A and B are shown apart, each in its own frame.
Chain A
Amino acid sequence: MSLAFSQPWGLLLGLLAIIPILKSGQPSKAYSSLAMLPEDPISSWMDWGLRLLAGLAALFMAIGIAGPYLREQWIEKIGTGAHIVLLVDRSSSMNENFSGTYLGGSSHESKSSIASKLLADFIDRRPQDLFAVVAFSAAPIYVLPLTQDHQAIRSAVLALGGRGHGITHIAPGLAMALEYFSGQPVTGSRIVLLVSDGAARMEPETADALRQIFQDEQSSLYWIYLRNLKGGKLTEAPKNPNESTTPEYYLHQYFQSLGIPYQAFEADNPKALQEAIAQVERLENRPLVYREKLPRQDLSGRCYAAALVCLMILIAFQTLEVKAWNL
């Protein structure tokens, strides 16, 4: 709970509340002999009550003008969801469509643009999840930290639909994605969602280091492999085993050997990609501690309402006033 004012100078006006307390606003009446009137404690009490009420009215107006509001606050909730790092390939081959044809700069059917649209729908359907975005080609790019700011995530995922450049270099991307989890408390399931259309050979040392980090961070891995129609399948061993021509097969083998929850989805058309994303969605619905943002809450309306109530009472009393004693 934290209170703040958008125009704090308005509070100074609150000092003016002293005026209606000192001045009752009741017109004085001529009367022949005040001394003849008996002391009437009820009348005095009522007079002071009305003065205080008037002071209160002025005070409420002043506070309302100062614009009090409760700051936006985060509340912790428990729901179902996950911490998901989107690790998305932005190499130049992502500019092609699924049959491997390059479609020109502004095409809407490139793998990257379809993936970006489907991922945007995916994050829209998961308001409780935290997302981070890493783009990678030759080097990984830190696009967004783990955040619940879905508008920002959306804007980053949509930007992924643009033209990509460079080669595919998966290992540093994985390392950066896992780095997001390091040093953070485990408050729900952790997922690296890799979306790529290929792989590259990994050095054995790098592979070993990554294996260690995967286990340390307790992260699961999903790989949505956007397979070119001519590309190799993950499950079919190549006829002439050679890691430089079919790195995808070997990467799949490596991921399976990591000892972490891992699943691969092959998608060689937009519909299969949609299906793969839907499957990830079904898998990841474990309890999660997440935070929800309550928007800034304006309180000046309540002050005006309170002031209005005071004024109404004052008006009501005013209509009861005696207009003149000596009719």
Chain B
Amino acid sequence: MSLIKAIGRHVQANSFAKYQLLTAALLLALCLAYPSLSLKRPVFRYLFVIDITQSMNASDYHQEGLPADRLGFVKASIRQALEKLPCGSEVGLGLFTTRNSQVLFEPLEICEHFPLISDVLEHIDWRMAWAADSHIARGLYSGLREAAARGVGTRLVFFSDGQQFPPESDTPPFDGQPGVVGGLIVGVGGNQPVPIPRLDKENRPIGFWEYVDLRDYLPPSAIPTDASSLYLTRLDESLLNQLAITSGLTYHRLETPEGLAQALQSPVLAAERVVAVDIRWMMALTALILFLMSRYASLPWDKLS
């Protein structure tokens, strides 16, 4: 009986401080059970398909510290954008040439596999092409099929300069459902026509493509009278815009890596994923504050009680 009385008196004496200390200890004990909260966060799942046809070797970017050629600029921009996407996002890489998009690897989580993804990106090269033509619409459609095969929520990001070869007047019809996959068509290059470098197998420049080299592949009407003139390329935005509309994608013109990173973080393209968030630190912070307060038990208000 006297014990209960003693406890009662004790609680009265400095109840406030005592409870603060006990609560702090309780919170810390709970921390050991590793509590976490499930929160929804936006993440992205992308299949990047990069045009590796030879017009992508043309140089029409002029930004300090970044490659001038289209393919190099695309690679550097993707690399920078990857660093800005939230962890938990996934990225797969693919190549486009001729009529097809070919996937190198299925989407991988970007934070854990960043060194590997960036190494593979670095090695992407026009010499990997299995053929040299460029039928962009078909390549895009095949990219959309590949993205669809990677599951719901996988978006396609198709990088191309819109340079068809040989030139095509009609765009083959889109046989899928517009907007089912979703994603971006990224226009690469500038508005001014520039020549296309010719490179040898060791990647050494051996001049530029001229009409005379291509006369077997071009309709006679397309060859100028002066056949030795250079075959030029520029970003064909009208084609890419039209493709974006028919396939339900968004068109984005690649001007800076920051712009690409921003376009890739558009909420429209995000998927929500439940992520477990560690909340131990919040509980420990509360425990710390309570504990420090309990040290002030001898303050006037305690004495008064």
Mutual binders A and B: yes
Q: A137-B130, A166-B131 are in contact. Are A58 and B280 (CB under 8 A)?
A: no
Residues in A with CB closer than 8 Å to B295 are: 19-20, 23-25, 54
Q: A25-B17, A28-B298 are in contact. Are A143 and B292 (CB under 8 A)?
A: no
Residues in B with CB closer than 8 Å to A27 are: 13-14, 17, 297-298, 302-303
Query: In the complex, are the beta carbons of A312 and B25 less than 8 A apart?
Result: yes
Query: In the complex, are the beta carbons of A155 and B107 less than 8 A apart?
Result: yes
How far does the alpha carbon of A323 sit from the alpha carbon of B146 in the complex, in Å? 76
How far does the alpha carbon of A149 sit from the alpha carbon of B116 in the complex, in Å? 9
Residues in B with CB closer than 8 Å to A165 are: 98, 100, 102, 130-131
Query: In the complex, are the beta carbons of B127 and A139 less than 8 A apart?
Result: yes
Name the residue on B nearest A147 (C-beta).
B116
Provide the A156-181 mask, 1 if CB < 8 A to any CB of B, else 0.
10110011111100000000000000
Query: In the complex, are the beta carbons of B288 and A16 less than 8 A apart?
Result: yes
Query: In the complex, are the beta carbons of A7 and B281 less than 8 A apart?
Result: yes
A71 to chain B minimum Cβ distance, whole angstroms, is 13
How many of chain A's residues touch chain B, expressed as a range? 35 or more
Residues in A with CB closer than 8 Å to B112 are: 151
Query: In the complex, are the beta carbons of B106 and A158 less than 8 A apart?
Result: yes
Q: A64-B31, A142-B123, A143-B120 are in contact. Are A26 and B284 (CB under 8 A)?
A: no
Residues in A with CB closer than 8 Å to B98 are: 165
Stretch at the interface among A243-251, A253-261, A301-309: A301-309
Residues in B with CB closer than 8 Å to A20 are: 291-292, 295
Residues in B with CB closer than 8 Å to A143 are: 104-105, 120
Q: Give B271-296 interface residues, CB cut-off 8 Å to A.
A: 278, 280-281, 284-285, 287-288, 291-292, 294-296
Query: In the complex, are the beta carbons of A162 and B120 less than 8 A apart?
Result: no
Name the residue on A nearest B292 (C-beta).
A19
Query: In the complex, are the beta carbons of A304 and B284 less than 8 A apart?
Result: yes
How far does the alpha carbon of A149 sit from the alpha carbon of B108 in the complex, in Å? 11
A314 interfacial by beta-carbon distance below 8 Å = yes
B71 interfacial by beta-carbon distance below 8 Å = no
Residues in B with CB closer than 8 Å to A19 are: 292, 295
Query: In the complex, are the beta carbons of B104 and A156 less than 8 A apart?
Result: yes
Query: In the complex, are the beta carbons of A64 and B284 less than 8 A apart?
Result: yes
Q: Give B120-162 interface residues, CB cut-off 8 Å to A.
A: 120, 123-125, 127-131, 145-146, 149
Q: Give B99-121 interface residues, CB cut-off 8 Å to A.
A: 100, 102-108, 112-113, 116, 119-120
Name the residue on A nearest B31 (C-beta).
A304
Query: In the complex, are the beta carbons of B31 and A162 less than 8 A apart?
Result: no
Question: A26, A137, A151: which contacts B298 (Cβ < 8 A)?
Answer: A26
Provide the B84-102 mask, 1 if CB < 8 A to any CB of A, else 0.
0000000010010010101
How far does the alpha carbon of A155 sit from the alpha carbon of B94 in the complex, in Å? 13
Residues in B with CB closer than 8 Å to A318 are: 18, 21
Query: In the complex, are the beta carbons of B146 and A162 less than 8 A apart?
Result: yes
Name the residue on B nearest A164 (C-beta).
B102
How far does the alpha carbon of A163 sit from the alpha carbon of B142 in the complex, in Å? 10
B136 to chain A minimum Cβ distance, whole angstroms, is 16
Name the residue on B nearest A137 (C-beta).
B130
Residues in B with CB closer than 8 Å to A151 are: 108, 112-113
A145 interfacial by beta-carbon distance below 8 Å = yes
Query: In the complex, are the beta carbons of B105 and A152 less than 8 A apart?
Result: yes
How far does the alpha carbon of A311 sit from the alpha carbon of B23 in the complex, in Å? 10
Residues of A within 8 A of B (CB): 7, 10, 13, 16, 19-20, 23-28, 54, 57-58, 61-62, 64-65, 67, 90, 105-106, 135, 137-145, 147, 149, 151-152, 155-156, 158-159, 162-167, 300-301, 304-305, 307-308, 311-312, 314-315, 318-319, 323-324
Supplied contacts A149-B116, A158-B106, 12 more A-B pairs, CB within 8 Å: A16-B292, A20-B292, A64-B281, A64-B284, A137-B130, A143-B104, A151-B113, A155-B92, A156-B106, A315-B25, A318-B21, A319-B10
Q: List 26 A-B contacts (CB under 8 A).
A: A10-B281, A23-B295, A24-B295, A24-B298, A25-B17, A26-B298, A27-B14, A27-B17, A27-B302, A54-B291, A61-B28, A61-B291, A135-B104, A137-B130, A141-B104, A141-B128, A158-B106, A162-B102, A164-B102, A300-B281, A301-B34, A304-B280, A304-B284, A305-B28, A308-B28, A311-B24
Interface pairs A-B: 6 shortest CB-CB? A166-B130, A155-B106, A25-B295, A156-B105, A142-B123, A308-B28
